[in-house]
């Protein structure tokens, strides 16, 4: 869908949107959001795992996965469970949670 707003013969704005499953996605906004996407979410999606599948594998709640993906803190034990559920070794955990504990 391409919408062009114009006034007095001057194009004021062009807004391009893409239909994704019946919803429209602003391309500019999606690029901004992907720049801030959590490493956990990125890695989980590369493995084609849903939040529910990862939560089940890790033995934690889906709400916990959601909170961690949003950048909230969690216990070290929870991080360990997530790392192992993703099929990573504990030393590879920095890919998901950075260098800090």
Give the pLDDT confidence score for residue 85 in this predicted structure. Answer: 97
Q: Could you say which residues of the chain have pLDDT below 50?
A: 1-3, 5-6, 8-20, 30-34
Number of neighbours of residue 73 by Cβ within 10 angstroms: 8
Q: Which of 19, 22, 12, 17 is nearest to 2 (CA)?
A: 17
**Same domain, yes or no, for 27 and 45?**
no
Burial class, 17, CB count within 10 angstroms (exposed 0-12 / middle 13-18 / buried 19+): middle
d(CA 6, CA 55): 49
Residue 52's domain comprises: 37-97
**Same domain, yes or no, for 49 and 91?**
yes
Domain count, the chain: 2
**Same domain, yes or no, for 15 and 52?**
no
**Same domain, yes or no, for 84 and 54?**
yes
The residue count for the chain: 101
């Amino acid at each position: 869908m391409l919408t062009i707003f114009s006034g007095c013969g001057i194009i004021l704005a062009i807004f391009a949107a893409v239909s994704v499953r019946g919803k429209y996605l602003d391309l500019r906004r999606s690029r901004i959001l992907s720049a801030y996407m959590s490493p956990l979410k990125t890695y989980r999606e590369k493995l084609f795992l849903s939040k529910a599948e990862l939560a089940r594998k890790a033995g934690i709640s889906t709400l916990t996965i959601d909170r961690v993906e949003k950048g909230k803190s969690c216990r070290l034990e929870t991080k360990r469970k997530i790392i192992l559920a993703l099929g990573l070794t504990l030393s590879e955990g920095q890919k998901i949670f950075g260098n800090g504990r």
